[in-house]
């Protein structure tokens, strides 16, 4: 299939997902994931097309940056203990359970079992952020706690993947230095850059962020690292700037959600092979239990302590997975540690964990927003016209 044909299909799917999301009142990310599964299995679309892999990878980094920008540093410090506690148990529980189950009852090799543990230990910061922004919960305390805890879980996952499997290259010190430089310098340069070039239709300030994030991706690829972790910290350091320039943040969010994130979520669904899944439903159930049971059992008591009224919502969102779970499984497949069936099973569990807990959380346990809350997404054009016509 020609790249333009695949792009047209996916953009059409993204439009349909937006319409279904509005009508059904659920996160568009979940609809995009489900449509990706359907399209990939009915039409056998290629999730590994080079342009799609690039855009989806960039989308995950941009989403992580935006998630960091939503967290107030003062709030993060106040919730540091809670974020660390929830994030670490959210990682350790499924990592140990999935590794032992794959190694024992499932009979996988040691390295394959460790890949399973790593892939199923994650919490999807991208899914969580998308849901919180769509619902307006990114600006309230529980949303900020969840994003901070997600970051801790994913940091543990990346450290585990790197420590167990990946050998850093000679580029790693360069990647580390550039990451630190970007985190230190961009928040200092952004105000002057915004004064000189900001608030223009050509959006130089968004291009500046994209250049920095793409540079981190290039160096991370050369260093056998991941750009999402420095991207989150960079977003966190830029949060004060965006508090002062909320319109700049809103435009960056619009670009991300209108163009980048649909490709990310649709590609996640395209990776699922339903044929392999249906042939191994028992294994799928075991792996799903290895991810979900420890997450629910270990996170909920801590969530009750730190977010009592929203403990169930917090626990369910901390049980999601997508970005790093898929990355870990893809690494195992490309390194010939796991086969295509094992890969499909792991990715299916990851995708299901992005859809099912999030849908339940939104439908049954979504926190009530304060009456004074203003939704984080921009108003509809009709609302703007009505507002302008009101004396």
CA torsion, points 30, 34, 35, 41, in degrees to nearest 10? 160
Q: How many helices (H) and strands (E) does the chain have?
A: 19, 0
- Per-residue pLDDT of 101-122, as tens digits, reads 999 999 999 999 999 999 999 8
To the question of pTM greater than 0.85 for the whole model, the response is no
Cα(294)–Cα(35) distance, integer angstroms: 28
The CATH topology of domain 50-263+288-340 is: Na+/H+ antiporter like fold (1.20.1530)
- Per-residue pLDDT of 260-290, as tens digits, reads 989 988 988 887 788 888 999 999 999 999 9
Domain boundaries, the chain: 50-263+288-340
Q: Which residue has the tokens 């990451």?
A: 179
Nearest CA-CA partner of 132 in 289, 318, 288 = 318
Q: What is the separation of C-alpha 39 from the centre of its chain, rounded to a whole number of angstroms?
A: 21
CA torsion, points 193, 196, 199, 201, in degrees to nearest 10? -100
- Per-residue pLDDT of 15-61, as tens digits, reads 999 999 888 877 787 788 889 989 988 888 888 888 998 998 898 88
Q: Which residue has the tokens 């690494």?
A: 331
Helical pair 110-120 and 323-334, crossing angle rounded to 10 deg: 160
Q: How confident is the model at residue 137 (pLDDT cuts 50, 70, 90)?
A: confident
The beta strand positions in 228-286, using DSSP E, are none
């Amino acid at each position: 299939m020609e790249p333009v044909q695949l792009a047209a299909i996916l953009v059409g799917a993204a439009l349909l997902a937006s319409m279904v999301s509005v009508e059904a009142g659920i996160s568009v990310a979940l609809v995009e994931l489900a449509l990706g599964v359907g399209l990939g299995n009915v039409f056998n679309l290629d999730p590994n097309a080079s342009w799609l892999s690039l855009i989806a990878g960039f989308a995950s980094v941009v989403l992580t940056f935006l998630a960091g920008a939503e967290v107030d540093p003062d709030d993060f410090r106040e919730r540091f203990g809670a974020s660390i506690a929830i994030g670490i148990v959210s990682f350790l529980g499924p990592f140990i359970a999935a590794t032992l189950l794959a190694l024992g009852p499932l009979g996988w090799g040691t390295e394959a079992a460790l890949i399973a543990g790593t892939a199923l230990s994650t919490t999807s910061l991208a899914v969580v952020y998308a849901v919180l922004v769509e619902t307006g919960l990114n600006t309230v305390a529980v949303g900020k706690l969840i994003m901070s805890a997600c970051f801790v879980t994913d940091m543990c996952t990346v450290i585990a993947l790197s420590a167990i499997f990946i050998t850093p290259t000679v580029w790693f010190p360069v990647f580390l230095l550039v990451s630190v430089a970007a985190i230190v310098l961009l928040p200092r340069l952004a105000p002057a850059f915004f004064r000189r070039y900001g608030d223009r239709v050509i959006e130089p300030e968004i291009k500046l962020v994209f250049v920095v994030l793409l540079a981190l991706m290039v160096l991370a690829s050369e260093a056998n690292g991941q750009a999402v972790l420095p991207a989150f910290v960079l977003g966190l350091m830029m949060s004060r700037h965006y508090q002062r320039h909320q319109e700049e943040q809103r435009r960056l969010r619009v670009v991300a959600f209108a163009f980048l994130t649909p490709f990310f979520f649709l590609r996640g669904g395209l990776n699922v092979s339903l044929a392999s899944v249906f042939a191994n439903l028992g294994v799928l159930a075991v792996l799903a239990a290895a991810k979900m049971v420890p997450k629910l059992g270990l996170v909920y008591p801590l969530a009750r302590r730190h977010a009592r009224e929203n403990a169930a919502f917090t626990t369910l969102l901390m049980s999601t997975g997508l970005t790093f779970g898929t990355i870990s499984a893809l690494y195992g497949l490309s390194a010939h540690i796991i086969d295509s069936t094992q890969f499909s099973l792991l990715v299916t569990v990851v995708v299901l964990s992005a859809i099912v807990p999030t849908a339940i959380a939104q439908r049954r346990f979504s926190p009530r927003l304060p009456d004074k809350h203003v939704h984080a997404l921009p108003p509809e054009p009709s609302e703007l016209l009505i507002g302008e016509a009101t004396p």
